[in-house]
A and B are shown apart, each in its own frame.
Chain A
Amino acid sequence: MKDVSFGQYYPVSSYVHRLDPRLKLLFLIAYIVAIFLASNFYGLAACAGVLVVIVIAARIPFGKVLRAVRGVVFLVIFTAALNILFYNGETVYASWWVFDITKEGLIFSAFLALRLVLLVVCSSLLTYTTTPVSLTDGVESLLTPLKWIKIPVHALALVMSIALRFIPILMDETERIKNAQKARGADFESGNLLKRIKAMVPVLVPLLLSAFRRADELGDAMDARCYTGSGKRTKYKKLRFTWRDLIAFLVGAALIAGVVLMKIYLPAPY
C-alpha cells in the first residue's frame, strides 16, 4: 500500500468525514453538474473555491489531493492540447497547416482542463472521506427506488463493496509478488515500454491466479454462512440525516444556484 492515493480512504476525523454518504454522493453529482454548467470564469472559480473549502474542512493534506490529480495529468494535457489545435475560433494567434491556435480555443481548453481537474479532485475527495462500506450503503439507499422495478440493488451494492474492498488487497498482493520476483532478479524499472510490459508477466500471472483463488474462497465463505442476499437485512450502521448534512445540502444548492445565476448575468466566458 505504498503509493495508492487514488480512491483510498484517508482516516482522519472531520466534518466532511461524518457527513451522510448519501448526501456526499448527491453533492458530488450536483457539483459535477455545476462544473459543466459553469460557462464563465466566475462560475468555475466559485466551484474551485468551494472545493478548496471542502478540502480544508476534510483535513486532507493538499499534497494528497495533488497526488490524485497526478494520475490524470496526462489525460488533461492530452485533451487540452487537442482542443487548442482543433477548436474553431475567430481570433487566430498562430496557424500551421490545418491547425489554428485561437483565443477561443485556448480559453476553452483551459476551462476543460480545469473542469477535469475539479472532477477528479471532487470524486477522490468522496473516497478519501467515505469508507467503502458507508459508500456502498449510500449507493444502495439512493438506488432503492430501482428495487420497485425489480433491479437487484442489494446485489449490485454488494458487488461494488467487494470490488472496493479488493482494491487494497490486490495492491498489497501486487507489491508482494513484485518483491518476490525482484528478489529473483526481475527488473521493472528499466528498458523500453515493450520490455517493461513483458517484465510484468511474472507479476500478472500469479496476481490473476490469486485473485481467482480469493474470489473462490470468498464465495465459499459466503455460502458457508448461508448468505443469499434476500430477505430483510438490518444494518450495522444506520444512515441518518442530521443538521450537518443540512448545512452541506444548503452549500451545494447555493453553489448550483450561484453558477446558474452567473451563467445568466455574466455571460462573458472569462
Chain B
Amino acid sequence: MRIVAEHLSYVYNAKSPFATAALRDVSLTIEEGEFFGIIGHTGSGKSTFVQHLNGLLRLPSSLKRRKKRPKCKKGELPPPETVLRVGEFDLTEKKTDFRALRKSVGMVFQYPEYQLFAETVRDDVAFGLKNFSAEKPSEEQIDGAVKAALEVVGLDYEEMKDKSPFELSGGQKRRVAIAGVIVTRPEVLVLDEPAAGLDPLGKKEVMELLHRLHREWCKTIVIVSHDMDEISENCTQAAVFSEGRVVCVLPPKELFRRADELTALGLDVPLTAKLVSALARRGVEVDCDFTTEDFVQNVLALWQAHGGKGGGA
C-alpha cells in the first residue's frame, strides 16, 4: 500500500484558545515496501501525522465535501486540495471504511505496554483478531494466529499464553503489545517510538524484530523516532519534521550529509555523522552510508591505506 499525503494540515482544539497547529501543509509519499523513518524534534507533529494514517485523527469534514469547496476571490489561487490516500482508501472521502483501514494499517503507540488489559496474554493478543474478523473466529484459528504472532515477536507461545500480561517484564510486555497489533497481519505497520525507554540491548532487539516483521509480515513499516542512530541504521527513507512541516525526505545516507542543517533544527545527528564531520574538519574524507558497520569498515580501509599510522582521529 502506497501512502500519499498532500497539503495535510491539522489543528488541535481548533477555534479555542488552546488551538495548536500540529501539521502545516504536509506532503509526503511513502512507497510500498519501505522501512520509513520519521524524525523530528519533540512537538514537531510526528505522532499527529501517523495517527492520520489509520483514521484515528480525521480530516475536518469541511475538506471532505469536495464539490462545495470554498469559493475564492478572483486572482487568488484556490487553496491547494488536501489529499490523503492509504492504498485504496481515500481518507478525504466522506465514507471511509475505518475498520477495514485499521485492519490493513496496524498502529503501535508509544509505550504500547500500557494498553494491555486482558487476563491472559492469549486473550490480549486475540483482541484485535476478534474485533476485525467478519465472523467469530474459531478457537483453533485464534490459537494459530496468536501462536504465530507471539513467535514472530520472539516469545514462546506455550510458556506465555496463560500468563497475565501484567506479570511480564517491560520488554516482554512490549512484545506482547506488538503481537496484539500484528496478529491481523496488517500490510502497513506504524510504530510510534517503538524503542523508547528501553536499554541499548532492548533497542537493538526491537529493531531486529522490526526487520524480521518487514521481511515476513508487513510490507511497509513506518517508525517514528528521535533517535538518529536508530534511523540511520535501519531506515530506507527518512522524513524530517520540524514545527509541523516536512523539511526533507531522503535516504538516511543523503540526509546525514547535511548534518549542519539538522543540528540547526535542534536535531541530533548519528554518532557516525558527527565523526565523519569531525574527520572532515581535520582533512580526512570518509565516504560511508552512516551505519556503524559501514563507517568502521571505511575508516579501517582508510587507516590501512595510510599504512596503519594515519589520521588525527
Contacts and interface: CB of A to CB of B under 8 A. Distances in A.
Interface of A: 1-2, 10-12, 176-177, 179-187, 201-203, 205-206, 209-210
Interface residues of B, number: 26
A180 B184 CA distance: 15
Given A180-B109, A184-B131, A187-B131, A11 B17 contact: yes
Interface of B: 13, 17-18, 51, 54, 56, 99, 102-103, 106-107, 109, 112, 114-118, 127-128, 131-132, 166, 180-181, 184
A90 B180 CA distance: 66
A184 B127 contact: yes
B159 to A, nearest CB: 23
B112 A202 contact: no
A135 B118 CA distance: 39
B54 A183 contact: yes
A2 B13 contact: yes
Contacts of A12: 17
Contacts of A206: 114-117
Contact of B117 (A1, A2, A202): A202
B117 A205 contact: yes
A66 B180 CA distance: 41
Contacts of B103: 185
B107 to A, nearest CB: 4
Contacts of B166: 209
17 contacts: A179-B56, A180-B112, A182-B56, A183-B54, A183-B56, A183-B102, A183-B109, A184-B127, A184-B131, A185-B99, A185-B102, A185-B103, A185-B132, A202-B115, A205-B117, A206-B114, A206-B116
A205 B124 CA distance: 12
A210 B114 CA distance: 8
Contact of A10 (B17, B99, B115, B127): B17
Contact of A185 (B18, B51, B118, B128): B128
A1 B13 contact: yes
A236 B192 CA distance: 38
Contacts of A182: 56, 102
Nearest to A202: B117
Contacts of B127: 181, 184-186, 202
Contacts of B115: 177, 180-181, 202, 206
A185 B131 contact: yes
Contacts of A183: 54, 56, 102, 106-107, 109, 181
B114 A177 contact: yes
Contacts of A202: 115, 117-118, 127
A202 B119 CA distance: 11
A176 B109 contact: yes
Nearest to B18: A1
A20 to B, nearest CB: 23
Nearest to B183: A184
A176 B115 CA distance: 9
B167 to A, nearest CB: 13
Contacts of A179: 51, 56, 109
A184 B181 contact: yes
Contact of A184 (B17, B114, B128): B128
Contacts of A1: 13, 18
